[in-house]
Amino acid sequence: MTLTAPPRLLLVHAHPDDESLWTGGTIARYAATGVHVTVVTCTLGEEGEIIPPALSELAAGAADQLGGYRVAELRSACTALGVTDHRFLGGVGRWRDSGMAGVAANSHPRAFTRGSADEQAEQLAAIIASVKPQVVVTYDAFGGYGHPDHIRAHEITMAAAGDVDRVFYTATSRAALEEGTAGLATWDDLPWRLPAPGELPATDDADITTTVDVSEHLVAKLRALRAHSTQVSVWQDGPRAAYALSNGIAQPVLPAESYVLARGSAEGAGTDLFGGLD
């Protein structure tokens, strides 16, 4: 097909902060070049663990106000990344963070994974029909690391994106992660522990189809990560930067973001999600 101007990219993420953690550099890069970027977030992330002690009472087991707080964090992150079209699946608060598998939050009446997958796919299909993206990005069938909400996001995206030219799964290059972690090991002042081998999810490089250079957009990605202060801690010293989630495991900020083509032609897509789409 012939691309309309501007090209359109739509990303489906489970919780606020996923857009920045998994695809922040990619979003910033394409937004900066005039691509129309739409971010769809499926829940408010109500069950997230909270890093700052001063905000602990926002938690689901206390005041249960974390979801609303994270809406504001997400808005700030989208601003940092250049996103002007953000949408919540079904509207703000329609679907609730399900938590990890086997926890009480799975049975909440509005839990994302308890809801109708058909209804959710229809809601996403309506957004896709409105935006008309050429490229859609979401997670693989394992949800990247097994979170039930990520898996459901994958399922509804694959059901809703039938007419899209390309669908990609997010991925982390195993080789790039190992190289970045080795670099962190040389920093004496890193405030978190290093990951053990294989502790962080990664994809074998032989399975990665597309590597997007985001090295010129890491400032925007770091700003977006900082916006999600309840979930992410960022450490930076000059050009050196790393981040950690509530588990206190240091993660490198990589100069490229990786993807696996799930649907569509791979021709021209080695370094550009839109490559080869005339």
pLDDT tens-digit series, residues 52-102: 999 999 999 999 999 999 999 999 999 999 999 999 999 999 999 999 999
Answer whether residue 57 is part of any domain. yes
As a whole number, the mean pLDDT across the chain is 97
Answer whether residue 176 is part of any domain. yes
Q: Which of 98, 91, 54 is CA-nearest to residue 230?
A: 54
Q: How far apart are CA 91 and CA 68, in angstroms?
A: 13
Answer whether residue 45 is part of any domain. yes
Going by pLDDT thresholds of 50, 70 and 90, the confidence category of residue 277 is very high
Q: How many folded domains does the chain comprise?
A: 1
- Domain region containing 57: 8-263
Answer whether residue 268 is part of any domain. no
Give the H or E element holding residue 27: helix 18-32
pLDDT at residue number 278: 75
Position 126 pLDDT exceeds 90: yes
Going by pLDDT thresholds of 50, 70 and 90, the confidence category of residue 214 is very high
pLDDT at residue number 238: 87
Strands (E) located in the chain: 8-13, 36-41, 85-88, 135-138, 166-171, 210-213, 233-237, 240-244, 251-252, 256-263
Answer whether residue 148 is part of any domain. yes
Answer whether residue 201 is part of any domain. yes
Can you give the CATH number for the domain in which 168 is found? 3.40.50.10320
Strands 85-88 and 135-138: unpaired
Q: What percent of the chain has pLDDT over 90?
A: 96
- Angle (nearest 5°) at CA 29 between 48 and 192: 40
